């Protein structure tokens, strides 16, 4: 049996402030660092021989994975960073407070933007400092690949092809992917075959390892390691 461990980064500064983060590169909070270290301890208890490590280009995912590997006493010189695993780009909502936007746009509209399958916010102006074009971490990404806004469907269309090409061939070994709420939601949609209409129900907690078990490349089981902070997977 092989294992694929999906983990959303620990709580970030903008998670704490309830802001739409998207591709903005923000730090982990002290709580987020603790979540990552606890995740490392939970993974350590599995006593697995871990073979491959992936994360996004974003520092909150990079640091989460680094803290996990440090807890596991694994050198992180073989981590693969992929921008395709980045969080969904929230377009014109980027940087705004979610609670304030509920008052402005209505709770249903904000929920639609956050959880729907194919609805994207208005594009973010390219001159905005929060636009990925203006963030140093993404200077090596081809400009025509950098989005102004994304729906979950758009995010799926970059995450899943990357997974199929670069991670799926390794699935008979043990793998960790440290990414984000929406990039992990898209992977779960693909792996669990979740219907478009049901994906809105899937929520991914910060810093809680989701372990997927495979036999002969077939998914047979999945569970969160921290049961107290687990969310409904809809399946299993």
Point out the residues that are catalytic. 9, 87
Give the separation between CA 60 and CA 64, rounded to whole angstroms. 6
Angle of CA points 14, 68, 155, to nearest 5°: 50
CA distances from 209 to 4, 23, 129, 160, 217 (A): 10, 22, 32, 19, 20
The secondary structure element, H or E, covering residue 35 is helix 30-44
DSSP-derived secondary structure letter, 198: T
Is-contact 128 61, C-beta < 8 A? no
* Dist. CA 175–CA 192, nearest whole Å: 17
Distances (CA, A) of 143 to 26, 68, 160: 21, 32, 20
Sign of torsion over alpha carbons 162, 165, 166, 172: positive
């Amino acid at each position: 049996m092989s294992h694929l461990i999906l983990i959303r980064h620990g709580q970030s500064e903008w998670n704490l402030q309830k802001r739409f983060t998207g591709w903005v590169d923000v730090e982990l909070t002290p709580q987020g660092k603790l979540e990552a270290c606890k995740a490392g301890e939970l993974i350590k208890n599995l006593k697995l021989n871990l073979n491959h490590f992936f994360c996004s280009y974003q520092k909150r995912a990079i640091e989460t994975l680094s803290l996990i590997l440090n807890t596991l006493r694994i050198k992180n010189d073989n981590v693969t960073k992929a921008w395709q695993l980045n969080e969904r780009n929230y377009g014109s909502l980027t940087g705004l407070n979610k609670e304030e936007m509920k008052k402005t746009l209505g709770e249903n509209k904000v929920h639609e933007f956050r959880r729907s399958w194919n609805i994207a916010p208005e594009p973010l102006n390219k001159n905005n400092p929060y636009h990925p074009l203006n963030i140093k971490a993404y200077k090596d990404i081809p400009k025509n690949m950098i989005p102004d806004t994304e729906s979950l469907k758009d995010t799926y269309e970059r995450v899943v092809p990357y997974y199929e090409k670069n991670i799926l061939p390794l699935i008979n070994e043990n793998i960790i992917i440290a990414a984000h709420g929406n990039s992990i939601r898209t992977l779960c949609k693909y792996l669990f075959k979740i219907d478009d209409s049901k994906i809105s129900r899937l929520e991914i907690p910060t810093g809680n390892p989701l372990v997927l078990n495979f036999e002969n490349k077939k998914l047979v089981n999945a569970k969160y390691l921290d049961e107290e902070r687990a969310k409904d997977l809809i399946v299993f």
